[in-house]
Amino acid sequence: MKAVLRGAKPGPTVAVIAELDALRVPTHPGADAESGAAHACGHHAQIGSMLGVATALSAPELRNALSGNVAFIVTPAEEFIDIQERLALRASGEIEFLSGKQEMIRLGTFDDVDMAMMVHTSAVNGSSVFSVGGTSNAHVSHQVRYIGRSAHAGGGPYHGINALQAAMLANTAINAQRETFRESESVRVHGIISNGGASVNAVPGEVIYEGRVRARSIEALESIAEKVIRCYRSGALAMGASVEVRSIAGYHGLIQDPTMQKLFVGNAELVLGRDSISVVGASQTHGGSTDMGDLSTIMPVIHPYANSASGIGHGHDYLIEDYDRAVVTPAKVMAATVLDLLGNDAQAARQAIDQSKPAMTAEQYVSVQRDRFKTELFEQV
Ligand SMILES: [Zn+2]
Ligand SMILES: [Zn+2]
C-alpha cells in the first residue's frame, strides 16, 4: 500500500514506512486467540506515527514548503516467519521473495523513491527516548527436511530410519561449531523443529527443521552457512537418512545514512532536549535483522528506535507503555526531518542522495537475492 503526497514543487521522493505485521506469541496478553498473533515487536505503533506524519505534512502551509514528494508506504511481513506458508505462496507464483520490502523492491514499489525512513519501537533502556544509528545482521533461512523411514516404534523400530534423531544430531553438531564463530561477526545460529514427526508410536519418517543463520556481513554469513549445512548433513549421515536443505534469501545488514541521521537527531533534540537521544556507532549491532537492511542496499535510509515499551522484544511481556514516545514523538520528529529534507528546494535531500553510495541498483538487488535461493539434496535413503 502506498500513498503519495505531492509538494508544491517537483523534487526527490522521501518514503515514510510503517510495517504491518505481528508475531506468533500465544502467551502474550494481546494475542489473538486463534492465530496467537501479537504485537510483540510494536509494529502497530508505526502505523500511528506514519499517519501522524501524513496528517502534519498535509497541512497546506507545510505541504507548500516541500520540493518533492512524500510516499507513505506500509509494508507487510517484516518478521521472517511462517516460512512454510510463504514458500507455498512462492511455489504457486504469488510471491517470489519472502518479506514485504524484498518483494516490493522486486515489484517496483520503491522505483520512484529516493530515500526512506521509519521509526521502530524498542524497550526503555535508561533515559534516552530515541536510539539512533547502528546496523543489523544479515540473515539466511534454511528449510531442512530430513527424510528417514517410518516404522512401528514398539514392534519394529529397527526397520526405521529416525529423522528426528538425525535433526537432533545436526543440532548438536551446530552447537559444536559455535566456538568457531567470531564475536566480531555477531553470529547467531538458531532454529526450530516445525514438524517433529507424525505420531508417537512411529519412528519419525520426516522431520522439518527451520534454521536461521545471522551475521554482520553477507560474506561472513556465507561461510557460517556452509558450516551449518555441513552440520545438517552430518545428522543425516549418522542415521542413514536423506536431507534436503533449501536456502532462502534473507536480509542484508542495515546501513544508515549519515545525512538523514544528523537531521533526525537535530529534530529529536529540538523536540526532546539533548539528553534524550543516544547515538550508537555505525558498526554496532544488536543481533536482529530487518528488511530495511535490504532497502539500504539500494537507497539512503534511517531506522531509529523509539524506546517506549516494557518487557523483552518478541517476548510475552513486550508492551508499549508510552504511546506518546512510541507514536506522537516519532511522528513529530519524522515530519520535521522530511521538512528539512524537502524544504529549501530540497537541498538536504539532494545532498544525501549525492553523497550516498548504495551498494547496488534495485535490479542488481533482485538478481543477488534470486541467486541466494538454492536447494541441496544429500541422499542416502
Ligand atoms: Zn520483530
Ligand atoms: Zn519489528
C-alpha of residue 41 to centroid of ligand 2, in Å: 5
State which amino acid sits at residue 241: A
C-alpha of residue 43 to centroid of ligand 1, in Å: 8
C-alpha of residue 173 to centroid of ligand 2, in Å: 30
C-alpha of residue 381 to centroid of ligand 2, in Å: 41
The pLDDT of residue 74 is: 98
C-alpha of residue 21 to centroid of ligand 2, in Å: 8
The pLDDT of residue 31 is: 96
Q: How far apart are CA 132 and CA 115, in angstroms?
A: 17
Q: How far apart are CA 292 and CA 73, in angstroms?
A: 13
Q: Which ligand is nearest to the CA of 305?
A: 2
Q: Mean pLDDT, to the nearest integer, of 319-323?
A: 96
C-alpha of residue 352 to centroid of ligand 2, in Å: 26
The pLDDT of residue 101 is: 98
pLDDT surpassing 90 at residue 275: no
Q: Mean pLDDT, to the nearest integer, of 32-57?
A: 97
C-alpha of residue 79 to centroid of ligand 2, in Å: 7
Q: Which of 291, 253, 285, 225 minimizes the C-alpha distance to 79? A: 291
**What's the CATH code, domain 2-136+254-367?**
3.40.630.10
The CA-based dihedral angle spanning residues 321, 287, 338, 5, taken in that order and rounded to the nearest 10 degrees: -90
The pLDDT of residue 125 is: 82
The radius of gyration computed from the CA coordinates of the chain, to the nearest angstrom, equals 23
Q: Which ligand is nearest to the CA of 313?
A: 1
Q: Which ligand is nearest to the CA of 122?
A: 2
Phi-psi domain of 316 (left: phi exceeds 0; alpha: psi -120 through 50; beta: other): alpha
Q: Which ligand is nearest to the CA of 80?
A: 1
The chain-wide mean pLDDT, for the chain, equals 96
Encode pLDDT of 196-242 as tens digits.
Answer: 999 999 999 999 999 999 999 888 999 999 999 999 999 999 999 99
Residues with CB under 5 A from ligand 2 (ion): 41
The pLDDT of residue 133 is: 96
Q: Which of 106, 94, 102, 112 minimizes the C-alpha distance to 3? A: 112
Encode pLDDT of 155-165 as tens digits.
Answer: 999 999 999 99
pLDDT surpassing 90 at residue 283: no
What length does the chain have? 381
Q: Is 33 exposed, middle or buried (0-12, 13-18, 19+ CB in 10 A)?
A: exposed
The pLDDT of residue 309 is: 96
C-alpha of residue 67 to centroid of ligand 1, in Å: 34
Q: How far apart are CA 190 and CA 169, in angstroms?
A: 14
Q: How far apart are CA 304 and CA 275, in angstroms?
A: 16
Q: Is 276 exposed, middle or buried (0-12, 13-18, 19+ CB in 10 A)?
A: middle
Domain ranges of the chain: 2-136+254-367, 139-250
C-alpha of residue 378 to centroid of ligand 1, in Å: 33
The pLDDT of residue 381 is: 86
C-alpha of residue 22 to centroid of ligand 1, in Å: 8
Per-residue CA distances from 149 to 154, 168, 208, 230, 379 (Å):
15, 16, 14, 22, 13
**What's the CATH code, domain 139-250?**
3.30.70.360
* Contact between 130 and 72 (Cβ < 8 Å): no
Q: How far apart are CA 218 and CA 140, in angstroms?
A: 9
Q: Mean pLDDT, to the nearest integer, of 299-317?
A: 97
Residues with Cβ within 8 Å of 180's Cβ and at least 6 positions away in sequence, in order, are 227
Q: Mean pLDDT, to the nearest integer, of 354-377?
A: 96
* Contact between 190 and 137 (Cβ < 8 Å): no
Q: Which ligand is nearest to the CA of 23?
A: 1
Q: Which of 253, 282, 275, 277 minimizes the C-alpha distance to 264? A: 277
Q: How far apart are CA 267 and CA 337, in angstroms?
A: 7
Question: 362-372 vs 100-107: helix axis angle to the nearest 10?
Answer: 130
Give the percent of the chain with pLDDT over 70.
100
pLDDT surpassing 90 at residue 302: yes
Give the model's confidence band at 286: pLDDT under 50 very low, under 70 low, under 90 confident, else very high. Answer: confident
The pTM score is: 0.94
C-alpha of residue 208 to centroid of ligand 1, in Å: 23
